[in-house]
Amino acid sequence: MLYDAKNGELQLGDRILYYVTFGKGSRPLVMIPGLGDGLRTVKGLAASFAWMYRRYAKEYRVYVFSRPEPVLEGETTADMAEEAAEAMKALGLESAYVLGVSQGGMIAQHLAARHPELVKKLILAVTCPKSNDSVINACDRWIDMAERGDYAALTVDSAETNYTPAYLARMRRMYPIATRMGKPKDFTRFIRESRACRTHDASAVLGEIRCPTLVIGAEEDQIIGPQASRELAAAIPDAGLCLFPGYGHGVYEETEDFHRRVRDFFR
């Protein structure tokens, strides 16, 4: 398969954690995705992820973890970090480079603080140390839409708050298709992940992170706000900070410079 991409699953108690892996490099890289995981796990998507992140395939063996299925009522980002740690250990990943994006970054904060032996270097992208008013407002909107089963509104609102006007100008033409494709049969998983995002708070443990860390944010981020990235970097000992001007929460999808920064830091 493309870039030696493989689909996998792990049994965690009575739940299943789906993951994909790809790449031919010798260095392990763990990616923890954001809230989109609540709408669809990575099950069966190995080839898609390998193509989207092919820029990492030469240097790394990449692992992308979903949250276990089902997500439990009342789970927190700290709980999800423990599940990610369990998955890494089950796969024999003694120490990995970790990239957490958005809610994945919330999870990665707890992972690095509580399991320092598992994280060689850490990048926290478009995420926050503690859910602020902006995050809570976004989650409240999305939970309301999900509870009503309004997938079209959820898709459009998410896009409009993630991307720049230039990117949206191209993307809006796809709304009629995007709002009909990928609708989950049930929104429970998304709602529970959104609630975990809404209640995230790692502020008490950030000072315990000791691995080299880079925080990447975006000056026009409408979901967490740029100040959250500054606060996160200030709370982690010796962390670096990179803020992209002119981009929003979806910076990792809009500019290749994001991925150049990631690769340079991990090197």
What span, in angstroms and rounded, lies between the C-alpha atoms of 18 and 56? 20
What is the rounded CA–CA span in Å between residue 53 and residue 58? 11
pLDDT recorded at residue 180 = 85
Instruction: Tell me how long the chain is.
Output: 267
What is the pLDDT, as a whole number, of residue 179?
Answer: 85
pLDDT for the residue numbered 181: 86
pLDDT of residue 178: 86
pLDDT at 2: 85
| pLDDT recorded at residue 197 | 98
Q: What is the DSSP string of 124-173?
A: EES--SB--HHHHHHHHHHHHHHHTT-HHHHHHHHHHHHS-HHHHHHHGG
Q: Token digits for 121?
A: 């270097």
User: The domain spanning residue 209 has which CATH number?
Assistant: 3.40.50.1820
Sign of the alpha-carbon torsion through 61, 64, 68, 73:
positive
Quote the pLDDT of residue 182: 85
Q: How many folded domains does the chain comprise?
A: 1
Structure tokens of 160? 């409009």
- Mean pLDDT, 10 residues at a time, over the chain (267 residues)? 94 97 97 98 97 97 98 98 98 97 98 98 98 98 98 97 95 89 94 98 98 98 97 98 98 97 97
User: Would the pTM count as exceeding 0.85?
Assistant: yes
| Residue ranges making up the domain that contains 228 | 2-266
